[in-house]
Structure 1
């Protein structure tokens, strides 16, 4: 028996919910330290206790309180994001030098931003290190599809078997992380060219922002590196209706090929567990918005809707620019 739609949602949004079992939730939080920054009252992420034990936090700029289970980056009240970021970078450089964590062997040279409760930019850190601190990360997923007399068909890429994360699994047409200072639309355009050879004018003309999904993912062995690390994420979604004459093609080594699949083929691959977990979330959202998955044909419809839009426990931003 294959995976149900709700099974797929739970596989990605798999951090415990307080309301479901308060006692278990509280006990589970004891396995983490809260990541904080001086001058900001909010918790910015959860660091597993064993990660805390294996990082050398310099005492002149970090306060590790094992009783309160907090790890705080200590800086002057007027510290700039660049100054905070440099202290984090120095700490990570030592971790990399000692080869403490396998996940950092996939160093990306991409920076992810960390925000405070009012949307203020606090600092940035190397992308591959973000799961060690459990910070909220942001990305873009774009579903490229054709709609004609044959119905809806979606362009589905297969990830390279050499990728560190989720090798050989199926993905969304275009997907990628939003770097510091980048807008979601800019990320969508960049990733469309890098991963699918889709020209900028095609994306600008056809891409439609259609919302977002949010989830709190606990990494398993498919993610590469250590298991049990946390990824609370916000994925901004775009639909890209394409003419049948436009065919996405791999532009880098991250994608092996693209195939144009109908809804039934995608449903079967989802049931088989062939899609990367967060990509399954995005496709389910697409099915809901296009009337493929409805209250009449899905018994867990309300649970699915709620789990697609989890309220995260840390500050988040919408990337609004005035």
Structure 2
């Protein structure tokens, strides 16, 4: 979906302008996204397999839920909306634990230059995997994986190819923060 988003400067501050998402990606304009990582009490992480039709990283495993923040939309409301849309789970803003904002610059092609600030949250998953509803246009599959297996696979050159190539710093921070909550 080509939604209207707020444009940011290279420090993540709003410029007071908007653009449609495809234009921002084409021109490499900075904008904000939300990343929500779900974890369970028994040390598992919820991963989503990106739809085969996705423009970037199709069929790779990724963060539990992610999406663009709409123009004028609050970060928390965006996270709540994306969770509801992608996995059909209603959550309250108080359940979201923000762990940071990560700057990400990825040039996928001449027509797709992602310059994003990922507002990143952790949320305890309190329902069974079977109770989640995948958004067909975004998510091909969902799975729970132990934090230890996830970490081992991320740092294995061959196994890491099944995951979206976020920075090592990003993944290290996510794993550290989840481990502290267990």
Q: Counterpart in 2 of 1:177? A: 68
1:71-117 CA-to-partner distances (Å, cap 9, x unmatched) read xxxxxxxxxxxxxxxxxxxxxxxxxxxxxxxxxxxxx3301222468
Give how far 1:179 is off. 1.4
Give how far 1:119 is off. 4.7
Q: Counterpart in 1 of 2:114? A: 231
Q: Counterpart in 1 of 2:104? A: 215
Instruction: Give the Cα separation in 2 of the matches to 1:180 and 1:259.
Output: 31
Query: Which is further off, 204-213 or 253-262?
Result: 204-213
Question: Matched residue of 2:166: which SS?
Answer: helix
Higher strand share: 2
Give how far 1:135 is off. 1.2
2:87 to 196, 206, 210: 196
Q: 1:162 to 1:139 in 2, by over 3 A?
A: same
Alignment pair present for 1:153 and 2:50: no
Q: Counterpart in 1 of 2:135? A: 251
Q: Counterpart in 1 of 2:164? A: 276
Contact 2:30 2:117 survives alignment (8 Å): yes
Question: Matched residue of 2:171: which SS?
Answer: helix
* Larger radius of gyration between Structure 1 and Structure 2: 1
Give how far 1:124 is off. 1.4
1:125-164 alignment, distance < 5 Å:
125-148=19-42, 152-164=43-55
Instruction: Give the Cα separation in 2 of the matches to 1:289 and 1:167.
Output: 27
Q: Across the two proteins, how many residue pairs are aligned to each other?
A: 174
Instruction: Give the Cα separation in 2 of the matches to 1:250 and 1:269.
Output: 24
Instruction: Give the Cα separation in 1 of the matches to 2:97 and 2:75.
Output: 12
Give how far 1:249 is off. 2.8
Instruction: Give the Cα separation in 2 of the matches to 1:215 and 1:280.
Output: 12
Residue ranges of structure 2 left out of the alignment (5+ in a row): none
1:1-322 alignment, distance < 5 Å:
108-115=1-8, 119=13, 121-148=15-42, 152-199=43-90, 202-219=91-108, 226-227=109-110, 229-245=112-128, 247-270=131-154, 271=156, 272-278=160-166, 282-291=170-179
Q: TM-score, normalised by structure 2?
A: 0.81
Contact 1:213 1:282 survives alignment (8 Å): yes
Residue ranges of structure 1 left out of the alignment (5+ in a row): 1-107, 220-225, 293-322
Give how far 1:250 is off. 0.3
Instruction: Give the Cα separation in 2 of the matches to 1:177 and 1:238.
Output: 14
Give how far 1:265 is off. 2.5
Instruction: Give the Cα separation in 1 of the matches to 2:49 and 2:84.
Output: 16
